[in-house]
Structure 1
Amino acid sequence: MHGLMVHHVSLVVTDLERSIGFYQRAFGLRRLNRPPFKTPGAWLESGALQIHLVENRDGSFRPHATVDNNDWHFAFRTDQFDAMLDHLFAIGFREDAGAEDPDRILVLRQGLAGFPQLYIRDPDNNIIEINGAPAEQPPLWPAVAAD
């Protein structure tokens, strides 16, 4: 559709302040004003995209406490992949952490996507990808024809 673009990603979190702290510490996101909805939450700015945190003390549907790049996730893109990786190592993420360790980071320096990728999870098990995709990237694979 002409002019269509992603505006925000909404994530369920169980502890709003803990999650705000995580996203600010890990990614330097700035908090935005949010309307006074009935459900507690926060809006965070990430360039032209927003991350909306919505508090639900019961959590989300995702029971697995592992980093799995084949599970639901959203992705940040950066021109400074190595610097971002160094930052995440500096705040405690580790490639050698166990599968269920909250500080586990999965790094794919080369893969089918054609650019480096890493995966972590937030305190509520939401999977986050950070990649070094080019800002303007031609498709790697042919488009699928519409039926």
Structure 2
Amino acid sequence: MTIQGLDHFTVLTEDLETTRRFYAEVLGLREGERPPFGFPGAWFYCRGRPVLHVIAGRDLPAQRSGVIDHMAFSATNKEEWKAKLQRHGIPFDLRRQPGTGVWQMFFLDPNGAKVELDFGDEPEKASAGARG
């Protein structure tokens, strides 16, 4: 009996269309098939797998993140991501993980959920702690 991997994250939203645009247009996830649950929402796919579920029509908690701090995705082309987030007016925090050299870019989705992009083996082009 073992855990096989992480299946998906779920984000609650008050504004389904804005959330759809963010995950499709900004993050580049593909919206795809979703079972007919009987409440509004969307599923977003990465490499053919539904990795993010969005649920609308429910009350959101006062503390948006609850006990989950963030969701993280592996990504490439850090400089292109910086430019894209800046074009969309999305502030971000970029820092280098101590010991591993992995670049981490943190920003919020339209609902206040923290998103992290991890860039494995990218060249040194920005200083740690740089702000977007």
The corresponding residue for 1:5 is 5
AA in 1 matched with 2:118 = N
**Is 1:22 matched with 2:9?**
no
Aligned residues: 117
- The Cα RMSD (Å) is 2.2
Aligned 8 A contact 1:40 1:54 in 2: yes
Question: Aligned to 1:85, what secondary structure does the other structure show?
Answer: helix
Question: Aligned to 2:39, what secondary structure does the other structure show?
Answer: coil
The corresponding residue for 1:51 is 52
Q: 1:87 aligns with which of 84, 87, 102?
A: 84
Shift, 1:34, TM fit: 0.7
Q: 2:97 aligns with which of 94, 103, 111?
A: 111
TM-score (norm 2): 0.76
Q: Which protein has the bigger strand share?
A: 2
Aligned 8 A contact 2:43 2:50 in 1: no
Question: Aligned to 1:88, what secondary structure does the other structure show?
Answer: helix
TM-score (norm 1): 0.69
The corresponding residue for 1:97 is none
Q: Deviations over 1:52-87 (max 9, x none)?
A: 1011442234258xxxxxx71001111222211221
Give every structure 1 segment of 4 or more consecutive aligned residues whose post-TM-superposition deviation is greater than 6 Å: none
Give unmatched runs, 5+ long, in structure 2.
122-132
